[in-house]
Structure 1
Amino acid sequence: MFETNRKRSTQKVVNVASVPQRSPFRYPGGKTWLIPVVRKWLKQSSDNSKTLIEPFAGGGIVSVTAAFEKLAGSIVMVELDPEVAAVWEVIINGDHDWLADKIYSFDLTSENANKILEKKSKSIQEQAFSTILKNRIFHGGIITKGSGLIKNGENGKGIKSRWYPKTLHDRIKGIGYVKEKMRFITGDAFEELKKFKNQKDAYSFIDPPYKAAGKRLYTHFDINHDALFALASQLKGKFMLTYDDTEEIRTLALKHNLDFRTIPMKTTHHIQKNELIISDNFDWWN
């Protein structure tokens, strides 16, 4: 057992602008800021044939970065939310060119956006486009029920404030060049993670909905965190769990005899806070 007050961060706050922006999502709780640390974690083994699994894929920045930077031989992304999953289904398993071109050619007005969003029955491609649209024109990128359109936005640009069709087009096209090593599964994180439980060359990056903010940010926020810690402790391969730094999460780590470190980050409102990194080992940390 270890002391909770002994594990201090030796990391600095990451300048997100220094990290390549690869994901098409502006994702609440996204981990772009953590990429320098994730690189170290993935490089603890020089064998780049390893399998990376991201069971709570969300914006997918870890999987996409690993594909671009050849940090894993195969990559498995899992997402349960049907709206988010539709995007990755189209990009990874389907016709990414269609989505990229649809975004680039779309004439964004409130009227045109509402036509897309209000359509009841959507194909998987239409759902993917609708999700990207919501993610870009809703407050904070939050696509759950209760969120709504940006009104004023940056410099009074309204719903066009975060709509960068050329950038989104290029990001999706870029993923198309590396997706041959990627696989996407619409499914339950627990069930898919269990399939890798005995795989020693598997690296599991586990970024679940956080206890405090999950209800506000995500549709599928209500998970069994105790069961997730128990499952992580059974993994034969490498794993990294990320969480908000709360007494409850520290207690769960202690309960399952899992080591952790604190790491500083800045929120979208430029408030500095600590998060927790929980891992099977920290030989790679410094």
Structure 2
Amino acid sequence: MSASVKKNRFTNPYISPLRYPGGKRKLIPLIADLISRSQPVPLFVEPFAGGASVSIGLLEAGCVENIALSDKDFLVASFWKTVFSARATELAEMVLSAEITLDNWKMIKRAQPSTEIEAAFNCIFLNRTSFSGILNDQAGPIGGQKQQSEYTIDCRFNREKLASRILELSELQERVVFVECQDYAQTFDQVRQTAFCQDRLDQVLWYFDPPFFEKADKLYRHTFNDTGHLLFRQLLRHIEGHWILSYDDVPQARHYYSGDPGFARVNLSYNARIDSNERLSSSEIVVSDIIAELRRRQGQGCIPAMGEVLSLKGFQETISDNALSERCSERAV
């Protein structure tokens, strides 16, 4: 196993330099296990990249060979474009020398960056100094406008760790097929046209984490309305390759997807417990054609049916992060 895989931990809080609302870091072991029980993944595509924790965690662990990212938010897309480019060192130096003050926060909040490097820096600055990492215009600074809280505006901005992580991730750039600022439909088209994917579109694995159904307008700069959620569901039915979808567990999402044979509810409080009998305190919906196929081929026992429970906490005690990494790496060889 490579050194990067050995040191990988899916629970590492710095998998992504970005603190992203609705981030799915806790789902990585579950997704890694699904991959290990399916086919090798030459390309893992995340069209709603956000913090990109899932893509990065799987790539570093050797669970997938390459990744492709896109996001409609110019700040987010610019950040990942820069991280996986020759300008990553420049961005890391900007992070190291950043002055974290309320005045700078206000100035950057108002800014309209015209270059990708400027947008990349503004992204990580605002993400690390705003409440819950929210980039939406409504989000205020950590500690409030009067900075009277015990948590001040710089409490989440560890310059050294962030700069180091940016440089570490930049070393993976040869395994990043593309990063684009675009919507999911444009990403579908780009993957189809990418020479890398010719003759193996059926091996591509898509991971979708669309904007929430509820309160999305308070969290993100680009969201779906009801029509947008419906159009996405319709397009999902025609996708080439395998796919995994995660959504906030709300009645609308269950209405759309509970009839799918790959539907499951995941309790994030337990780092993923599937349970459909009760309203979970911190829950997520996961739907995947891989889950549906495993249930069909291996029976309901391999992935619990509705009403049964899969405790990923217990699962992680049995199959450690390193063991999953080894299994994924073996599949990639």
Q: When the two structures are superposed, what TM-score results if normalisation uses the length of structure 2?
A: 0.72
Q: SS where residue 171 of structure 2 aligns?
A: helix
Q: Match for 2:153: what amino acid?
A: I
Residue 173 of structure 1 is matched in structure 2 by 167
Q: Match for 2:282: what amino acid?
A: K
**Aligned mate of 1:221, from 209, 223, 226:** 223
Distance change >3 Å, CA 76–CA 260, structure 1 → 2? same
Moved more, 130-139 or 197-206: 197-206
Q: When the two structures are superposed, what TM-score results if normalisation uses the length of structure 1?
A: 0.84
Q: Which runs of 5+ in 1 are unaligned?
A: 1-16
Moved more, 113-122 or 243-252: 113-122
Query: How much does 1:207 deviate?
Result: 0.3
Q: Match for 2:171: what amino acid?
A: Y
Residue 264 of structure 1 is matched in structure 2 by 267
* CA RMSD after TM alignment: 2.5
Query: How much does 1:121 deviate?
Result: 4.7
Q: SS where residue 158 of structure 1 aligns?
A: coil
1:194/1:231 contact within 8 Å kept: no
**Aligned mate of 2:186, from 171, 183, 191:** 191
Identical residues among aligned pairs (%):
25
Residues 114-163 of structure 1: CA distance to partner in whole angstroms, max 9, x if unpaired?
44444445422112111111111111111111111122689724101111
Q: SS where residue 145 of structure 1 aligns?
A: coil
1:41/1:285 contact within 8 Å kept: no
Q: SS where residue 45 of structure 2 aligns?
A: strand
Residues 1-286 of structure 1: matches in 2 within 5 Å? 19-20=11-12, 21-45=14-38, 47-48=40-41, 50-151=42-143, 156-182=150-176, 183-196=178-191, 199-223=201-225, 224-253=228-257, 257-266=260-269, 272-282=281-291, 283=294, 285=303
Residue 330 of structure 2 is matched in structure 1 by none
Size of the alignment, in residue pairs?
265
Q: Which runs of 5+ in 2 are unaligned?
A: 1-8, 193-199, 271-279, 295-301, 305-333
Query: How much does 1:18 deviate?
Result: 6.3
Distance change >3 Å, CA 100–CA 205, structure 1 → 2? same
Q: Match for 1:251: what amino acid?
A: H
Q: SS where residue 156 of structure 1 aligns?
A: coil
2:10/2:28 contact within 8 Å kept: no
Query: How much does 1:259 deviate?
Result: 2.7
Residues 5-49 of structure 1: CA distance to partner in whole angstroms, max 9, x if unpaired?
xxxxxxxxxxxx96123101010000111111121122233525x
2:84/2:172 contact within 8 Å kept: no
Distance change >3 Å, CA 248–CA 110, structure 1 → 2? closer
Q: Match for 1:273: what amino acid?
A: S
